Amino acid sequence: MAKYSTGSGGGGSGESCELCGAAGVETQTVNVAGAQLEVCSDCAQHDDNATQSDDSARDDRKKRAAQNTAKIHDAAEADPSHWEDGADYEDDQLPYLRDGYDDLVTDARQDAGYQLGELAEELEISEGDLLALEQGRAIQANVGGSVVAAVEEFLDIEITESD
CATH of the domain at 142: 1.10.260
- Cβ atoms of 140 and 132 closer than 8 Å: yes
Residue 20 and residue 43: Cα distance in Å, rounded? 7
Global pTM reads 0.45
* Residue 75 included in any domain: no
Are 142 and 93 contained in the same domain?
yes
Decide: 27 and 11 in contact? Cβ < 8 Å: yes
What does the pLDDT read at residue 129? Answer: 93
Count other C-beta atoms under 10 Å from residue 22's C-beta. 17
Section 54-60 average pLDDT:
64
Phi and psi of 121, rounded to 5°? -65, -45
57, part of any domain:
no
What is the span of the domain harbouring residue 2? 1-52
> 96-133 b/e with 16+ CB inside 10 Å = b?
ebeeebbebbbebbeeeebeeeebbeebebeeebbbbb
Report pLDDT for 74. 60
In this prediction, residues 66-80 reach a mean pLDDT of: 61
Q: Is 154 helix (H, G, I), strand (E, B) or coil?
A: helix
Total domain count, the chain: 2
Q: In this structure, are residues 138 and 132 in contact, taking their beta carbons and an 8 Å threshold?
A: yes
Is residue 80, in this structure, part of any structural domain at all? no
